Amino acid sequence: MAVAEVLFVVAGLFIGLAFQGGMLLFLIPFAVVAFVLACLNRPRLAGPSSTGSLPMIIKGRATGAIPEVAPDLRSEFRNSNGMANEPEAALKVSQVWARANADINRAMTDMLLALKSVVPHVNSALVFTQFDNPREWGVRNFVNDKEISVNPSARISETSGLLSQLFRSGVTRLLEGDLPGAKSLQYYVDSTPIKSVVAVPLVDHGSGIRVGAVVLDSTYPNAFNDMTARALSFVASAISMLDYKGFYSAQKHIALQQYSGLYNYLRKFFKTMSVKDIYKEIINYVKANMAYDRLTILALDKDEEMNGRVVFCDGVDSEQFLNKRFTLSDKGIFVLSIMRNRPIERSFAPGFKDYVPRLNDSEKRNLNLRQIFVMPIAAKHDAEMAEIAICLESSSPMPYNDHEKELLKAFASVAGFAYDRACKFEQGCEQAMRDGHTGLINKKTMFEKLRAEKSRADRNQYSIGVLMMDIDHFKSVNDTYGHPIGDVVIKGIADTISKEIRGDIDIVARFGGEEFVVALIDTDAEGMVETAERIRKSVQKLVFDVHQAEPLRVTVSIGAFLLSPGFNGDLQKAVNNADQALYRAKEGGRNQVVQFQATEPEPAAV
């Protein structure tokens, strides 16, 4: 037999002996302690039921059915708000509350059944607790002899009926033995001839405030006495303790569940070094844990102009914000949070007319979104400006409690550190991939990109044009004007080449010294030569001021090789072919484009 079952038997035995009267009344406190310990040892909160599903939550009698989750148990964590995004965490919270409430109601049912069994002539045993209105109590649980006598929707208030006396602080019990009828009780749906009532207030264990009542009634006159009222007060104290412990046990379980989820996301942060993955994890966390009607993620650009864009938007009118640009001079509330690196929360009353821009005045106005909460994410917690902002909007008033905000704040703090780490890593990778002077990719990176493009070209059956170019007489430029001027020439030619190709498609790299390589994606021989000529002519037009009477002009020679899908050699061979064509351009007088031509093998000597 389980520990909880043994304690229930002991509690029932003590209560039965106590109601015999006399010296046995001292057993009541021990019965209450045994009952509370039994309830706390029932292993139901930590996991699902044996069938793998939640208990059935329905309205009805407490004997044989479990009432719905009481609102007072969920006052700290609202789970159902009707917003566009209902997060997965809300379902988990609802499950915990449902399971906790089911356990508490089962324990209450056992208590009421015990009372009804040991106290003679009891018709109904009921527990009233607060629901939405603190000045009103409703039926939380009951057991009785009739199936439909008690109205589960019944309410008692400070000014209605006999039980309203328990709202007064000076009334510690209610004991009536000769009532005229059931009308004054108000919780019956028929005219049950109740003659006796004993009731005591239910006091909240934490605050000491009256939050309900425990009631016994009978159709017999004078069915209860002072001993019954005293015993009932002990039972009410046990019920209060049970409710208090059940609430905080569920609250602790929810907090552990939420912090465990937060920890899992933080682990993901430190497994990735990509800024895009950081954005992805931020979006996933918010969608899984926060309810909203619209979610917008803003991020500043890495350049020095301090502009930004919307990297993600989901929900109401999301299409108008997605990929939208903004500047720090815009007067939107989202932008303000980034500028000040402070959370911002705004609430608007129903029917308000003064719309507050989110990014700027040009956006579409939606007056139904009356709640705004913005959490900035900064690389350093004491930074003057943030880099990212999580912007939540809701049509529900006050949808986020302090606990949810603190969780999001903790998440944002670690996300900022991970974002800064990823940015520095990508910046280091970018520097390793590029030539420090021209900003073009280096030789190693060029071969990596060209290898990937060659695989794609083979699958889709298109050609790649490879251009190898060299600055004509560059050694004489360095010897005559010095290496600083030579660096200016190299940078100017690199910029000119980049402008003459498709920046988002083609590849340009500094191959070494004064040599450049260009890969023209999806082209033919004619297009390859045309682009090479365009580059050559643009370089020829360049003028470099060397602080002399005549400006400096330079030219380039270009060798071209068409890398077709049927090419069997490696990529180094393709670049070598372009280099051979470049050598011929140099021999032919420079400042020209020469396409590679395969030479036929010479006949063997006789």
Q: Which amino acid is at 568?
A: N
Does 264 fall in a domain? no
Tokens read off for 321: 């914000």
- pLDDT for res 91: 64
- Strands, E assignment, 204-343: 210-218, 294-300, 307-315, 325-327
Residues 304, 419: one domain? yes
Domain with residue 310: its CATH number is: 3.30.450.40
Indicate whether 461 and 418 sit together in one domain.
Answer: no
| 14-18, 528-532, 596-600: the lowest-pLDDT one | 14-18
The verdict on 153 and 291 lying in the same domain is no
Residue 156 near residue 57, CB atoms below 8 Å? no
| Domain annotation covers residue 434 | no
Question: Which range is most confident: 74-88, 205-219, 385-399, 517-531?
Answer: 517-531
Q: What is the pLDDT of residues 357-379, one digit of tens each?
A: 999 888 888 888 889 999 999 98
Residues 81 and 215 in one domain: yes
Q: Which stretch of 54-58, 148-152, 267-271 has the lowest confidence by average pLDDT?
A: 54-58
Q: Where do the H-state alpha helices sit in 401-508?
A: 402-433, 443-460, 474-481, 483-500
Backbone angles phi, psi at 587, to 5 degrees: -65, -30
336-372 in b/e form (b: 16+ CB < 10 A) is bbbbebebbeeebeeeeeeeebbbbeebeebeebbbb
Let me know if residue 223 belongs to a domain.
Answer: yes
Q: Is the pLDDT of residue 41 over 60?
A: no
- 399 and 516 within one domain: no
Q: Domain boundary residue among 381, 401, 428?
A: 428
Region 335-346 average pLDDT: 91
Q: Do 246 and 282 belong together in one domain?
A: no
pLDDT at residue 480 greater than cutoff 80: yes
User: Are both 487 and 520 inside the same structural domain?
Assistant: yes
Lowest mean pLDDT among 203-212, 395-404, 577-586: 395-404
pLDDT score, position 46: 39
**pLDDT tens per residue across span 104-139:** 888 888 888 888 888 888 999 999 998 777 788 999
Bigger pLDDT: 18 vs 339: 339
Helix axes 88-118, 226-269, angle to 10 degrees: 160
Going by C-alpha positions, the residue among 173, 175, 171 that lies closest to residue 225 is 175
Same structural domain, 230 and 180: yes
The reported pLDDT for the residue numbered 184 is 60
Which string of DSSP letters, residue by residue, matches 157-223?
ETTSSGGGGGGSTT---EEES--S-STTT--BSS-----EEEEEEEE-TTT--EEEEEEEEESSTT-
Confidence label for 95 from pLDDT (cuts 50, 70 and 90): confident
Asked if the structure places residue 435 within a domain, the reply is no
Asked whether residue 131 falls in the same domain as residue 166, the answer is yes
Q: How confident is the model at residue 40 (pLDDT cuts 50, 70, 90)?
A: low
Domain that holds residue 182: 44-254
Q: Is residue 106 part of a domain?
A: yes
Q: Which of 197, 223, 254 is the last residue of a domain?
A: 254
8 Å CB contact between 425 and 483: no
Mean pLDDT computed over 599-603:
46
Whether residue 262 is contained in a domain is answered as no
Higher-confidence residue of 162 and 84: namely 162
**End of a domain among 365, 394, 428?**
428
CATH code, 557: 3.30.70.270
596 token code pair? 């590679």
Mean per-residue pLDDT of the chain: 81
Residues 33 and 164 in one domain: no
pLDDT tens digit sequence for 407-462: 888 888 888 888 888 888 777 776 777 887 888 988 888 888 898 899 899 889 99
Closest CA to 150 of 120, 106, 194: 194
Q: Provide mean pLDDT across the span 228-232.
A: 90
- Distance (Å, rounded) from C-alpha 582 to C-alpha 516? 11
Distance CA 62, CA 239 (A): 15
Highest mean pLDDT among 75-79, 262-266, 500-504, 589-593: 589-593
What's the pLDDT score for residue 151?
A: 86
The answer on 504 and 391 residing in a single domain is no
Q: pLDDT confidence of 170, banded at 50, 70, 90?
A: confident
* Cβ–Cβ < 8 Å for 353, 367: yes
Higher pLDDT, 181 or 593: 593
Q: Residue 327, Cβ neighbours under 10 Å: how many?
A: 12
pLDDT classification of 383: cutoffs 50, 70, 90 = confident
Question: What is the average per-residue pLDDT within 529-555?
Answer: 89
Contact between residue 59 and residue 151 where contact means Cβ atoms under 8 Å apart? no
State the catalytic residues.
514
Banded pLDDT at 39 (limits 50, 70, 90): low
Tens of pLDDT along 21-34? Answer: 555 555 666 666 66
Question: To 10 degrees, what angle do helices 402-433 and 226-269 make?
Answer: 10
- Shortest CA distance to 514 belongs to which of 575, 440, 571? 440
pTM of the model: 0.55
Residue 92, CA distances (Å) to 59, 81, 82, 105, 315 in order: 21, 15, 16, 20, 22
How many structural domains comprise the chain?
4
Task: Answer yes or no: is 551 within a domain.
Answer: yes
Cα dihedral 173, 176, 181, 186 in deg (nearest 10): 0
User: 495 and 539 share a domain?
Assistant: yes
Residue 560 forms part of a structural domain: yes
Question: Is residue 172 within 8 Å of 201, Cβ to Cβ?
Answer: yes
Closest CA to 584 of 443, 466, 470: 470
